[in-house]
Amino acid sequence: MMRIDSSWIHPMRYGRTRPFGRELAQLADRRAGRGFLALDDLNALLARVMGPYNDAIDHLPREARPARPTPILNAEVSLATSVGRFKAWGRNIFWLTPALVEMLEHTDLSGVHLGDLQFPYDMCYVGFGDRLAVGLPGPPNQVDGAYVEQRPEGIAIHITARRLDPGSQSPRTWPLNQELVYTTVLQGAPEDALDALLEADVEERVAELEQMATRERESLVIPWSEGDPVSITYHLARIATEDMSYLRSGAAAATAAVALAVNALCYLTTSAGAAEAAAPGRLPDDVPRAPGRRPCS
């Protein structure tokens, strides 16, 4: 029987490594459910993270505190939103066996077209475990899965990565242990190949960031239940430059992760794949099992 370390499954890990993780994901679920967050909803999530952030850095020496809180707060809201939507859509997880990852990790997206895809759920999480040897830009990490979400305009894929540096799973020092995520939205005509759509998405977002880099800063005032409203200043040029670098340097890892997730879902939802891909032993009790499948086209 194969043992599965649930810390490699993001929707289970997130609530354990963040003191507010479960509550924040539940708040995102209540605010948006299967829809999308409005600005007021995002502000509510940001306000919920601020208290734990201030509490956490109060215990750190000043020289050890993060230089800029804004990217950390925004990343937490983004991840919690993914977890909340994952729960709203039924908490469906596909866990890839090492043998299946090995079989599919060298596939690509050039022969897969947007119109070919018909996934079994509107949103699910595909877990790679520790078998895909790629990481996102930043601290030591390894890509461990992806949230795959069908939308009217295409497919949104949120790639997750587990931090590998010592102590990075501790909820007490979470501001220093930012989890990494890479999001791409593949949209286009049914005949468009997914590799071209991924490249186009990156370039389109880079172009938007180049425009953003021409602006200096903006401030956002957020109501806070624990005191006076909080003003967050966004240094737009710096944020845009960092985000452009991240998008470009992470594109290769993102392409590998998207190819594995998409090809695995297509394989597992065909009759042949379902027959050949036996369950890898017993999943952890808190991993919900998916019901029936609808095959890819």
pTM as predicted: 0.82
* Per-residue confidence (pLDDT) for residue 272, from 0 to 100: 47
Helical (H) or strand (E) element with 17: helix 10-17
pLDDT digits (tens, 9 = 90+) for 227-272: 565 555 556 777 788 888 999 999 999 999 999 999 998 888 774 4
| Percent share of the chain, pLDDT over 90 | 38
Boundaries of every domain in the chain: 6-276
DSSP assignment letter at 280: -
Per-residue confidence band for 224, with pLDDT thresholds at 50, 70 and 90: low
Task: Kindly state the tokens that stand for 280.
Answer: 């890898």
Q: Exposed, middle or buried, 263 (CB in 10 Å: 0-12/13-18/19+)?
A: buried
- Spatial contact of 153 and 130, defined as CB atoms under 8 Å apart: no
Per-residue confidence band for 290, with pLDDT thresholds at 50, 70 and 90: very low
| Overall average pLDDT of the 62-76 stretch | 86
* Per-residue confidence (pLDDT) for residue 216, from 0 to 100: 62
Whole-angstrom distance, CA of residue 15 vs CA of residue 66 = 22
| Overall average pLDDT of the 8-30 stretch | 91
Per-residue confidence band for 286, with pLDDT thresholds at 50, 70 and 90: very low
Question: Dihedral sign, CA of 98, 100, 106, 107?
Answer: negative
DSSP assignment letter at 39: H
Per-residue confidence band for 289, with pLDDT thresholds at 50, 70 and 90: very low
Among 7-11, 228-232, 280-284, whose mean pLDDT is lowest? 280-284
Task: Kindly state the tokens that stand for 201.
Answer: 């998405």
At residue 52, what is the residue type? P
pLDDT digits (tens, 9 = 90+) for 164-183: 998 888 888 888 888 899 99
Looking at the DSSP bridge assignments, the partners of residue 234 are 218
pLDDT digits (tens, 9 = 90+) for 81-135: 999 999 999 999 999 999 999 999 888 888 888 888 878 889 999 999 999 999 9
For residue 202, pLDDT beyond 70: yes
Whole-angstrom distance, CA of residue 216 vs CA of residue 200 = 27
